[in-house]
């Protein structure tokens, strides 16, 4: 990639033009891409990891990798999907690291993180039921396959549409839909199995 400068920057450019300018060496265009996407990438990463520091690290690493690889982007592909693919892969890597660390430390409650927000209540019995449900969901998600977990989290925490998930994961929309259906089905089975063991 060329050394970045600000000589080719057009502040009125659309996204594809900004990418081309960044590829041509404009530091200002690259910084504008960061402005456009850093909050969205943070939101996605936080939804996946539920840890601000981990999410910030994913954002930083995403744009570092973008800086190194922006020359490889080819027009015709959706830039946002290409960028989200980088960020999602980093989220998966960070999730895996967190899971291994939790297993080493014997902390099974934090294998997935506090992704599932259950309504707060002042009723002690309802609060206990909510905490039990969160624990069940945490454990159930941790049992999903890598692809099921990825699709489920992109759908429910990044609120992506099936087409967007397909582009990010580089798979067909049909595969996304079937994987999501399988993930939901397996989640229900895991939770039901936990309920059966508890009864």
Phi, psi values for residue 44, rounded to 5°:
-65, -45
Phi, psi values for residue 75, rounded to 5°:
-60, 150
Which pTM was predicted?
0.66
Supply the pLDDT for residue 58: 94
Supply the pLDDT for residue 54: 93
Supply the pLDDT for residue 112: 44
Supply the pLDDT for residue 135: 67
Q: Classify domain 116-199 at the CATH topology level.
A: Arc Repressor Mutant, subunit A (1.10.10)
Contact 18, 50 (CB under 8 A): no
pLDDT digits (tens, 9 = 90+) for 18-37: 898 999 988 998 999 999 99
* Tokens representing residue 105 in the block: 């430390």
The average confidence (pLDDT) of the chain is 78
**Which residues lie across from 69 on neighbouring strands?**
none
Q: How far apart are the C-alpha atoms of 157 and 53, rounded to whole Å?
A: 17
Fold match between 1-111 and 116-199?
Answer: no
- Asked if the model's pLDDT at residue 9 lies above 60, the reply is no
Which segments of 70-172 does DSSP mark as H helices, in order? 79-105, 124-142, 146-156, 162-169
Strand, helix or coil at 123? Answer: coil
- Residue 67 or 117, more confident: 67
Phi, psi values for residue 26, rounded to 5°:
-90, 115
66: buried, middle or exposed (CB in 10 Å: 19+, 13-18, 0-12)? Answer: buried
**Which residues lie across from 26 on neighbouring strands?**
5
DSSP state for residue 171 in the 8-state scheme: S
The domain segmentation of the chain, as residue ranges, is: 1-111, 116-199
DSSP state for residue 110 in the 8-state scheme: G
Phi, psi values for residue 170, rounded to 5°:
60, 45
Instruction: Work out the average pLDDT over 35-62.
Output: 89
**Which residues lie across from 119 on neighbouring strands?**
none
In angstroms, the first-to-last Cα distance of the chain is 61
Supply the pLDDT for residue 160: 81
Contact 183, 147 (CB under 8 A): no
- Residue 101 or 37, more confident: 37
pLDDT digits (tens, 9 = 90+) for 126-168: 444 455 666 677 677 778 888 898 888 788 777 788 998 998 8
Q: Classify domain 1-111 at the CATH topology level.
A: Rna Polymerase Sigma Factor; Chain: A (1.10.1740)
Contact 85, 169 (CB under 8 A): yes
pLDDT digits (tens, 9 = 90+) for 168-185: 888 999 999 999 999 999
**Which residues lie across from 75 on neighbouring strands?**
77
- Residue 100 or 183, more confident: 183
């Amino acid at each position: 990639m060329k050394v970045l400068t600000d000589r080719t920057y057009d502040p009125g450019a659309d996204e594809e033009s900004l990418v081309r300018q960044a590829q041509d060496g404009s530091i200002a265009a690259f910084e504008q891409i960061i402005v456009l996407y850093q909050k969205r990438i943070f939101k996605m990463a936080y939804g996946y990891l539920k840890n601000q520091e981990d999410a910030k690290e994913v954002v930083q690493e995403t744009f570092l990798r973008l800086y190194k690889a922006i020359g490889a982007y080819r027009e015709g592909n959706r830039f946002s999907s290409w960028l989200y693919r980088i960020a999602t892969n980093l989220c998966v890597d960070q999730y895996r690291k967190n899971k291994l660390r939790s297993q080493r430390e014997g902390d099974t409650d934090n294998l997935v993180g506090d992704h599932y927000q259950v309504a707060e209540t002042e009723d002690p019995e309802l609060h206990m039921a909510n905490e039990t449900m969160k624990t069940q969901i945490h454990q159930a998600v941790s049992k999903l396959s890598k692809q099921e977990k990825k699709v489920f989290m992109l759908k429910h925490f990044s609120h992506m549409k099936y087409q967007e998930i397909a582009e990010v994961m580089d798979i067909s929309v049909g595969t996304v839909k079937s994987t999501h259906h399988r993930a939901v089905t397996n989640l229900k089975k895991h939770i039901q199995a936990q309920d059966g063991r508890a009864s």
